Amino acid sequence: MPESFGDRLRATFAAAGQLCVGIDPHPYLLADWGLADTAEGAREFGLRVVHAAAGQVGLVKPQIAFFERFGSAGFQALETVLAEARAASLMVIADVKRGDVGSTVEAYGQAWLTPGSPLEADAITVSAYQGVASLGAVRDLAVAGGKGLFILCATSNPESFDTQRALVQHGPHTGRTVAAAIAAQVGDWNAGADVGSFGLVVGATVDLPSYGIDPSELIGTPLLAPGFGHQGAQFSDIRSIYGAAADTVVVSASRSILDAGPSRVGDAIRVQATEVALCLA
């Protein structure tokens, strides 16, 4: 059995801190970086970010949509970026937001979590809209390959509020919000681990109490936390937002780093990694 994702994540935190650099080749960023809005431009952008991140942080998070928009050429570009990131000893969280049931979700897992796959990543984001149990097949693949999952839980976009804060009507989590029920079930998956292999996407701009979530329930669960920088959350608020669970937060920053441009992106990563470390010391 390979080393678990949770154990590898804990080691990465200890060696390289908790900042995760997004790889998001937005059209405006490609233009600002002097790159064409093409698959080749996205490839070059991604490789430059990987090279700037290597040795400074331990995690990167490619947003797959910005590669997928170029079709098969975009996926070929992405495969190169993923391989380069892994060769640089960076843990890769592929932001793919897949979700389905049975053999379909298993196939998604095979694409992204199988060791040696052209799209191999260390973890992927997934949706539990069809129920946390619907992810059983991809969960098993993750365990077998030493990989991880980050399940959408409490996201920061306002459109999600009504759904994620709706109350569960049946079963063991009756009366809890949908987000809190997802968190509880994922917590059960991680039972017994110091740092689990199954995480949650919990936005840094989210008011957890309004979702019925106590941060103490999240201890030991990795938390992928978008919303820092461009979306308004501050690194100085990490502990006040996530409380006792702050030590397992993957602090995601994308545009606030990438806006620095190709000549200064390395400096931006260094500054933000240092700030995150100081805020979590």
Task: List, for residues 97-125, the tens digit of each pLDDT value.
Answer: 999 998 999 999 999 999 999 999 999 99
Give Cα 122 distance to the centre of its chain. Answer: 10
User: For position 170, what pLDDT does the model report?
Assistant: 94
Measured distance CA(144)–CA(142) in Å, rounded: 5
Q: Which of 10, 26, 51, 97 is catalytic?
A: 97
Query: What pTM does this model have?
Result: 0.97
User: For position 232, what pLDDT does the model report?
Assistant: 74
Determine how many CB atoms are found less than 10 A away from the CB of residue 171: 8
Read off the pLDDT of each residue in 85-90 and give the average, rounded to a whole number. Answer: 97
Measured distance CA(33)–CA(259) in Å, rounded: 9
Determine how many CB atoms are found less than 10 A away from the CB of residue 251: 31
Measured distance CA(248)–CA(222) in Å, rounded: 5
- For residue 135, pLDDT beyond 90: yes
Phi-psi group of 170: left, alpha or beta (phi > 0 → left; psi -120 to 50 → alpha; rest → beta): beta
Phi, psi of 260 (to 5 degrees): -70, -20
Task: List, for residues 145-186, the tens digit of each pLDDT value.
Answer: 999 999 999 998 889 999 999 999 999 999 999 999 999 999
Q: Residue 87, class by beta-carbon neighbours within 10 Å (0-12 exposed, 13-18 middle, 19+ buried)?
A: exposed
User: For position 157, what pLDDT does the model report?
Assistant: 87
Task: List, for residues 192-237, the tens digit of each pLDDT value.
Answer: 999 999 999 999 999 999 999 999 999 999 999 998 876 778 999 9
Instruction: Provide the number of structural domains found in the chain.
Output: 1
Q: Is 97 a catalytic residue?
A: yes
User: For position 73, what pLDDT does the model report?
Assistant: 98
- For residue 75, pLDDT beyond 80: yes
- For residue 16, pLDDT beyond 80: yes
**Mean pLDDT over all residues of the chain?**
96
Q: Print the domain residue range for 212.
A: 5-280
Torsion of CA 245, 10, 189, 179, to 10 degrees: 40
- For residue 51, pLDDT beyond 90: yes
Read off the pLDDT of each residue in 74-90 and give the average, rounded to a whole number. Answer: 98
Give me the CATH number covering residue 11. Answer: 3.20.20.70
Determine how many CB atoms are found less than 10 A away from the CB of residue 21: 29
Closest CA to 185 of 224, 132, 127: 132
User: For position 227, what pLDDT does the model report?
Assistant: 85
Residue 152 DSSP class? E
- For residue 63, pLDDT beyond 80: yes
User: For position 231, what pLDDT does the model report?
Assistant: 73
